[in-house]
Amino acid sequence: MDLPTLWFLLIALLWTGYLILEGFDFGVGMLLFALGRRPEERDALVRTFGPVWDGNEVWLLVAGGAMFAAFPNWYASMFSAEYLPLLILLVALIVRVLAIEYRRKHDGPNWTTRWDRVLFVASVTAPLMAAVGLANVVHGIPMDAKHDFTGNLLDLLNPYSLLGGVAVLSLFVLHGATFLGLRTEGTLRVRARSLAIRVWPVATALVAAFGIWTLLGASSVARGISVVGTIAVVLAVVGLVATGLALRADREPIAFAGTALTIAAAVVLLFAQLWPNVMPSTDDPAGTLSIAETASHHYTLKVMTWVAILVTPVVLVYQAWSYWVFRHRISAEGFPEGGAGAALQSLTHRPAGDA
């Protein structure tokens, strides 16, 4: 395997990690008011991902950095063409951080409720813009032979990309609900499971429609149905079926694993249909960017590969350890008795003014 292809696959892996890990964060944010009927319950929901959300976002930073270093022309063309959706994504991520950090900086239900609303809006906006952006990359973007964007905002809001955005939102809601089934107890746990059961048919229908459309030819470059793409669709279906069955059998780990598998399969499908290009052109075929012509110099990719080999295991071990430390269930009544994890949670999320 040549280095450009290797880094194309690694970028797909980074996007998979980001969407799985940050996906349940976004899902919980979208469920704040659906499941948290009191401020104490919303506090508990935020605490489920409070210690790990910033580590999850690192995957997005690394994915963007890898695209910039490994495929600079791809990075430049994509950010130029999708400037507005990606700008909205960036603003939503920044505002989301403010909501998480500032919601408990002042005592009073009105202050917390306002920031919770901001968190909800940002949790909807960010994944929606990310999904629309990725869907447009697969579908194709109007570009001329010089790889300059020749379209407008309406070209980016095409039916395929909008379906992708709605499908991702529904899948993340389901993913967040299954995550809450693992991380909460009592009433919140019951509500999360009940909501997940109700959301499952809608998410399944939307994801299936988006997956079939992608497999049958969402891209402007005709290549036919790929074997890898077909396998990815099958795995997505397996994941959704497993989630539905596990929810009804009250098998929360399997339900969460099923939604995670579906997200991973969806990313594989998108990148499989994109290969060997990185950005098809819907305007001029000469404007289509391929992996080979957008890749950095061989030496650059070689250095990046060695850095990834040395650093990635350390990052994965640290992130796995953080999840293990904060593995205990959370309730709206207070912090659980669970040793070091509970103690660290109580220190990490101490309200302002108690220090």
pLDDT above 60: residue 112: yes
What pLDDT does 256 receive? 95
Task: Output the six-digit token pair for 118.
Answer: 């901001």
Residue 167 belongs to a domain: yes
For position 218, what pLDDT does the model report? Answer: 60
Q: Tell me the per-residue pLDDT of 278-289, one tens digit each, with 9 for 90 and over.
A: 888 887 777 788
Specify if 238 maps to a domain: no
Give the long-range contacts of residues 54-61, CB within 8 A, separation 24 or more: 55/21, 55/319, 55/322, 56/18, 56/21, 56/22, 56/25, 57/18, 57/22, 57/93, 58/315, 59/14, 59/15, 59/17, 59/18, 59/21, 59/22, 60/18, 60/22
In a domain, 287, yes or no: yes
State the DSSP code for 151: -
Q: Is the pLDDT of residue 50 over 80?
A: yes
User: For all residues of the chain together, what is the average pLDDT?
Assistant: 85
Range of the domain at 111: 3-173+277-348
284 found inside a domain: yes
123 lies in some domain: yes
d(CA 6, CA 275): 12
189 within a domain of the structure (yes/no): no
Look at residue 346 and tell me whether its pLDDT is greater than 50.
no
Residue 251 lies in a domain: no
Assigned domain for 21 exists: yes
- Count structural domains, the chain: 1
Determine the average pLDDT of the residues in 343-351.
42
Rounded to an integer, what distance in angstroms lies between the CA atom of residue 71 and that of residue 86?
18
